[in-house]
Amino acid sequence: MKYNDIPGWFNPIDQAGFAWALDFQNDTGTKGDLLELGTFLGKSAILMGQKLKPGERLTVCDLFEEVMTWEGTNPVEKAFFGNKTPTRQAFETNYLAFHDQLPQIVQGPTGEICGHVAAGSCRFVHIDASHVYDNVREDTASARQVLQENGVVVFDDYRKPQCPGTAAAVWEAILNDGLQPVFATDAKLYATWGDPEPLRRAIIARARASDWCRTGDPVAIRDMAVVRLARNGK
């Protein structure tokens, strides 16, 4: 199996964003577990698993095939999956094609994750589950609970017009709850409740050293800033 053959929406610019953020943590001696809320068929989880250090654990939480019957799934999300309903078996097959053992798998609503992951135990959290406002707010609160002080949280679909609930929840956390944006792609926003500057400088440096992507100057948001990471020519 080739990595690019795995279905999903994890594009190369975010593969770089994940890898560079996790490499920065590894290079600076940051220790902690990784968590993914909403994993689909495992494309981003596989990359996260490649960045684990000895003694660390990756946890993924997803409804898998139960997404079509869960009472919290709205009709828009059901239509989005269509005939591409993810299954746990497909996830496990994909993951084991690249790793010797599975991550910890929590099959169920992401709102239950704090019962499986200890507070302050994580250095990196990816949120890509429900795009309903209340659920994203709940996932954001869970991420804050399980993350270390300078841990990184990544939000998927923070700006798509068909996902206004995600956008509302993310910007509410930024404007009211102390979340600091670090950098963004067209698909994902990378942020922290800690100090954003070290990671932001590292991402800018990596982009400048690359021959296929770029960042612009930081854009001010109140007393905060965010930089855009994009492929050259886009």
DSSP-assigned letter for residue 98: T
Q: What is the pLDDT, as a whole number, of residue 72?
A: 58
Measured distance CA(215)–CA(221) in Å, rounded = 17
What is the three-class DSSP state of 126? strand
Q: What is the pLDDT of residue 50?
A: 98
Mean pLDDT of the chain: 93
Euclidean distance between CA atoms 49 and 124, whole angstroms: 12
DSSP category for residue 69: T
- Please tell me the distance from the alpha carbon of residue 100 to that of residue 192, in angstroms, as a whole number: 31
**pLDDT below 70 — which residues of the chain?**
68-84
Q: Among 3.30.2270.10, 3.40.50.150, 3.40.50.720, 3.30.70.100, name the CATH number for the domain at 3-231.
A: 3.40.50.150
- pLDDT, tens digit (0-9, with 9 covering 90-100), for 24-60: 999 999 999 999 999 999 999 999 999 999 999 999 9
What local confidence, expressed as pLDDT, does residue 82 receive?
59
How high is the pLDDT of residue 86? 84
pLDDT of 69-87, one tens digit each? 656 556 656 556 656 678 9
CB distance 124 to 25 below 8 Å: yes
Q: Amino acid identity of 213? A: C
Structural domain boundaries in the chain: 3-231
